[in-house]
């Protein structure tokens, strides 16, 4: 059982590192949006990303509804960061 738990721990670490990398890029997008006077949220892109992730989840035998909830949480956090950037808080 320990080797399985070690694998899970490694995957968890990889997920955290990937999220950190993703947020570096979304922060750059936030600065570009703020500079261009664009809104923090892009509902069209969000819908496209959710559809892509649901499809990928299904192909990967992961519950698409879970994947959507996960991405919605990330999107909400990104929008919050973009709002802070636009407000000059970051």
What digits encode the pLDDT tens for the residues 12-61? Answer: 999 999 999 999 999 999 999 999 999 999 999 999 999 999 999 999 99
Q: In the chain, helix, strand, coil percent, each to 5?
A: 85, 0, 15
Kindly report the length of the chain.
90
| Superfamily covering domain 2-86 | Chorismate mutase (1.20.59.10)
CA–CA dist 6, 2 (Å, integer): 6
CA angle 82, 58, 55 (to 5 degrees): 50
What's this model's pTM, rounded to 2 decimal places? 0.86
**Token pair recorded at residue 75:** 């999107």
């Amino acid at each position: 059982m320990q080797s399985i738990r070690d694998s899970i721990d490694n995957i968890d670490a990889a997920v955290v590192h990937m999220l950190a990398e993703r947020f570096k890029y979304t922060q750059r997008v936030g600065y570009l949006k703020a500079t261009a006077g664009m809104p923090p949220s892009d509902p069209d892109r969000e819908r496209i990303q959710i559809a892509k992730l649901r499809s990928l989840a299904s192909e990967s035998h992961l519950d698409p509804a879970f994947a959507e909830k996960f991405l919605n949480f990330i999107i909400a956090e990104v929008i919050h960061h973009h709002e802070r950037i636009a407000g000059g808080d970051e």
